Structure 1
Amino acid sequence: MPPKKRPGRAATSRQKARPVARKKPDWYRLGYDGGFESGTRLGRESFGSLFEGTSIIIPTYNQLAYLKSCIESIVGHTDQPYEIIVVDNGSTDGTAAYLRSISGQIRYRILDANRGFAGATNMGLMMSKGKTLLLLNNDTIVTDRWLENLLACLNSDPRIGMVGPLTNYISGNQQIDVPYGTIEQMHEFAREFNRSDSAKWHLTDRLTGFCLLFRRELLERTGYLDEGYAIGNFEDDDYNVRVRLQGYMLVVARDTFIHHFGSVSIKALGSELDEVNRNNSSFYSDKWGNPHALIEQVNALLRSEAQARADAALHSGQEQPSLPPLLPSETALFPQGVAVRGVREQVFWVENGLRRPVVGVLSFPCARISQVDLLRWPLGDPIGAEEAESRWRRQPFGHEHGSIDGSVLAPDGQLYMVEQGVKRRLATSAAAEFWGLQYRMHSVPSAEEWAALPEGFPIIAPARVAAYL
């Protein structure tokens, strides 16, 4: 007899009993997505925090081969914690594509136009996370122990503001004669040369900007590079002056050598280079006049303050200060009794060490400064526009008003500010123009009144900063 067919129900049960094939989890994708989510969350939580390392900031423009060599040398010859930040000034040679291809190794910003050395560097400084900062030209090749040696020098004394190495090609006293002819020979030379030796750390009046190391504290005290120097050149000389005006020292670490091909980006300007140099030289002279005299004046005042504190400590039996004083920040060289604003539209009246939000509209000039400069003044109570106008226009040496504060044309024809009974010389006419002080009411005091006023710190023009994140 033929076998009986099983009922359809039984067949259905047998089919259901078969194991259902399940898709295997994509462990790679799950791990990737989880890691990305975790990294994003940690990034948000740590935004604004710093790390115990060095931010190496490299501005670049149309020199891709040099940039690649520079980054490769950092990766191959740097043992200390660091991050690399590259700011591209609108290159057209494939730099942007290269930066995107190595985005996991560096941080970068691609600008749509050439903001110059100062503008690109400032962008990198705004992006930086390190507690020490290093400005590095794209046409350099670093060497064994380079950063270790520079850090040892910088950290040896809190009065050291900036440190720079020696090289084969640069202006000033950081250039030395070298015996090598190839990059391989250069590295052999540098391995023997870069032996840390504090006896080879020498004070200098000038460090060139091809390689500059400093603490974040100095940036907070001094602010950004002046973007009034178009394209490049003189912005490092300007920063040298500003650092020295605060009482800091500049040091050449003559135990450290890196290779420098030599101003390849600026030389690419060709016939335009002469005009750029003339304009920047003129800008520097107009801003500073005689910077060495200014530095000596500030240092003399700092020494006088130090002596007064030492005398007071000796008289009271307290321990005498061991280090010469520094200015609290570059803001000590800015005037009081002026209107300022940062990147936002809010205007502040600055007086007695406070910035007070102005309520209303002012008719007199308002100086635009960087956020770093603005935020050094603590925030005070709001002030009406009319009250700020009255304070700005008050006549100095007007004893009928009980005040001798304001702009003063001294007996010798030099423009000063008098603040709380202290006379402060305007470094140059550019400083007066920046703060709008040439529009204020001037008066010529008598020789006796003038001689009775003590001399205070001079007043300078701050850096012009256009770049912001």
Structure 2
Amino acid sequence: MRALGVAARMRGRRRRPGKARPGRAGKAAGPARRFGRAGAGASAVRGAGASRRVEAIRPRPLRGEERSAYEAGREAGYREGFETGLHGFGRLFEGTSIIIPTLNQLEYLRMCVDSIFRHTDLPYEVIVVDNGSTDGTADYLEAMRGRVRYRLLDRNYGFAGAVNRGLMMAKGQTIVVLNNDTLVTERWLDNLLACLASDDRIGLVGPVTNYIGGEQRIEVPYRNLTEMQAFAAAHNRSNPALWQDVERITGFCLAFRRELWERTGYFDEGYTVGNYEDDDYNIRVKLLGFRLVVARDTFIHHFGSVSIKALGPALDAVNEHNAAYYGEKWGHDPHGLVGRVRDWVRARQPGGVENGFPAAFSEADFYPRHVAVRALSGTVYWLAQGERRPVEGELHIPVVRLTMVDLMRWPIGPPIAAADAERLWHGGMSGEGQAGAMLIRMPDGSLQHLEEGVRRPIASRLAAESWGLAAKPAVPLTEALAAAPEGLPIIAPVRTEQRL
């Protein structure tokens, strides 16, 4: 594993006149003045406040006891640092993890990171995940060690794969997923987080920009990057009247709480390279009852899908694959599915709710019961009655691999014998007297899963196959089965390698 540069930027204090801002690296030379010269960002970085050149002093070579003492001191320092890092590994900080996936766009990445350094005053860390670039990105990130945390992957794992690895590394209580071909601007993070913090029901927040599809695109008057920053400085005045609820937020810049990720889980790596994974995440967030909001008081510049456009003719095939996967996963009407869930909640909350419903769900509520799942460690669990029970013995039914983020939502219960789990999966009774689950074929051909006395619609054929439910024999709907109350739908689990 490549070493990770470790340094979160904790900068909550304002700069005093004449003094450098604590923890802030010096400004690099500005980005290209014209859009057509996006690669002109300078790479040299000077220390903040430096006013003159300091001549390098060549150290005297160490000899004998001096070298031994030096080596012993270095080893002791390494051990102390290692232990400190080990004990602080799981510690979070009250700040934002900014995750930037990248692939072969070094100059855009350099400008993006420099813009974060210039225009972000709240505590943050930058995490760059490189999808196997061959253009010098690795050398740049190595040189940024201590200012940027990073992961160098051996190949292209796609946008979702890179974001997921960034999520595994993130230490912040809030998270921003940011495209490498963006330039952030004055007060960008302050404004996004103000919107996010205004209502616990807000799940995802995004800014407006010059280049994107949908409601987040605005007309802009500037002709170069200097004019752009002046435009953004005037535009980015926090104004709650400009926060707009929408049905879709694009993934070029997404801000959300860490809690939302823990409820929703990883991005789906079934979407190869890029496109549609943000639409997928939108649906999953809305199923949990959260709002999507565009902060129209916040503008960042977007050069425009430079990594995905670099695919050239292969882009059409990528889009076709991802569109097909999205359709297989969600069926013909994913927004209708969200609406039915909202209706289900309203029926259980007298008086109804406004703007969706309180976010009481996690994605585990949309997973089936009476199924076997495997953890990354190889341990097999049985999901039922709000618990994950370790299975003792060998199973001869489908076993689905879940991420640890998913599994942690289920408390561990007592062990269950493999033979009992198999009987429950086939719809029989366990030795403990529990009733199993049953697959029902509805008159319209759709499938439902009867579990613990509740009929749960299965969102799509892919969902049934992903959980192994399609391997069960289905029984037709009877009058007795129709009398069972209907519960929340069952959706497909995400596909992810879940490894750094």
> Scaled by the length of structure 2, what TM-score is found?
0.82
CA distance in 2 between counterparts of 1:165 and 1:27 reads: 55
CA distance in 2 between counterparts of 1:347 and 1:153 reads: 41
Q: Deviations over 1:186-209 (max 9, x none)?
A: 000000000000000000000000
1:249 to 291, 311, 316: 291
CA distance in 1 between counterparts of 2:381 and 2:79 reads: 41
2:484 to 453, 463, 466: 453
Q: Deviations over 1:122-160 (max 9, x none)?
A: 000000000000000000000000000000000000000
CA distance in 2 between counterparts of 1:155 and 1:235 reads: 25
Give the residue type in structure 2 aligned to 1:190.
Answer: A
The answer as to 2:151 corresponding to 1:76 is no
CA distance in 2 between counterparts of 1:454 and 1:250 reads: 30
The answer as to 2:416 corresponding to 1:383 is yes
Shift in alpha-carbon separation, 1:26–1:193, aligned structure 2, 3 A: farther
**Structure 1 unaligned runs (5+)?**
1-22, 311-320
Query: Retained in 1: the 8 A contact 2:425–2:437?
Result: no
Q: Secondary structure at the match of 1:377?
A: coil
Give the residue type in structure 1 aligned to 2:425.
Answer: W
Shift in alpha-carbon separation, 1:361–1:24, aligned structure 2, 3 A: closer
Give the residue type in structure 2 aligned to 1:144.
Answer: E
Q: Deviations over 1:348-373 (max 9, x none)?
A: 11111111111121111111121111
Give the residue type in structure 2 aligned to 1:434.
Answer: S
2:218 to 152, 172, 176: 176
The answer as to 2:447 corresponding to 1:415 is yes
Which position in structure 1 is the counterpart of 2:133? Answer: 91
Shift in alpha-carbon separation, 1:453–1:231, aligned structure 2, 3 A: same
Which position in structure 2 is the counterpart of 1:230? Answer: 272
Question: Which has the larger helix fraction?
Answer: 1
Which position in structure 1 is the counterpart of 2:347? Answer: 304
CA distance in 1 between counterparts of 2:231 and 2:352 reads: 49
- Displacement of 1:227 in angstroms is 0.1
Q: Secondary structure at the match of 1:339?
A: strand
- Displacement of 1:323 in angstroms is 9.7
CA distance in 1 between counterparts of 2:358 and 2:120 reads: 34
Query: Retained in 2: the 8 A contact 1:302–1:325?
Result: no
Query: Retained in 2: the 8 A contact 1:395–1:443?
Result: no
- Displacement of 1:42 in angstroms is 2.4
Give the residue type in structure 2 aligned to 1:466.
Answer: E
- Displacement of 1:374 in angstroms is 1.5
2:406 to 347, 363, 373: 373
Query: Retained in 2: the 8 A contact 1:410–1:450?
Result: no
- Relative to structure 2, which stretch is displaced further, 327-336 or 53-62? 327-336
The answer as to 2:368 corresponding to 1:325 is no
CA distance in 2 between counterparts of 1:67 and 1:349 reads: 44
Alignment of 1:35-114 (within 5 A): 38-114=80-156
CA distance in 1 between counterparts of 2:311 and 2:73 reads: 49
CA distance in 2 between counterparts of 1:322 and 1:115 reads: 36
Which position in structure 2 is the counterpart of 1:360? Answer: 393
CA distance in 2 between counterparts of 1:89 and 1:217 reads: 26
Query: Retained in 2: the 8 A contact 1:339–1:366?
Result: yes
Which position in structure 2 is the counterpart of 1:462? Answer: 493
Give the residue type in structure 1 aligned to 2:192.
Answer: L
CA distance in 1 between counterparts of 2:434 and 2:201 reads: 41
- Displacement of 1:86 in angstroms is 0.3
CA distance in 1 between counterparts of 2:73 and 2:112 reads: 34
> Scaled by the length of structure 1, what TM-score is found?
0.88
- Displacement of 1:383 in angstroms is 1.3
Q: Secondary structure at the match of 1:306?
A: coil
Q: Secondary structure at the match of 2:349?
A: helix
Q: Secondary structure at the match of 1:242?
A: helix
- Relative to structure 2, which stretch is displaced further, 131-140 or 324-333? 324-333
Give the residue type in structure 1 aligned to 2:484.
Answer: L
Shift in alpha-carbon separation, 1:107–1:394, aligned structure 2, 3 A: same
- Displacement of 1:346 in angstroms is 1.6
Shift in alpha-carbon separation, 1:267–1:25, aligned structure 2, 3 A: closer
Which position in structure 1 is the counterpart of 2:253? Answer: 211
The answer as to 2:334 corresponding to 1:291 is yes
CA distance in 1 between counterparts of 2:67 and 2:320 reads: 67
CA distance in 2 between counterparts of 1:426 and 1:28 reads: 65
1:202 to 237, 244, 260: 244
Q: Secondary structure at the match of 1:238?
A: helix
CA distance in 1 between counterparts of 2:444 and 2:356 reads: 36
**Structure 2 unaligned runs (5+)?**
1-64
Query: Retained in 2: the 8 A contact 1:407–1:417?
Result: yes
CA distance in 1 between counterparts of 2:381 and 2:321 reads: 32
CA distance in 2 between counterparts of 1:125 and 1:67 reads: 19
Larger radius of gyration: 1
Q: Secondary structure at the match of 1:295?
A: helix
Give the residue type in structure 1 aligned to 2:195.
Answer: C
Shift in alpha-carbon separation, 1:324–1:281, aligned structure 2, 3 A: closer
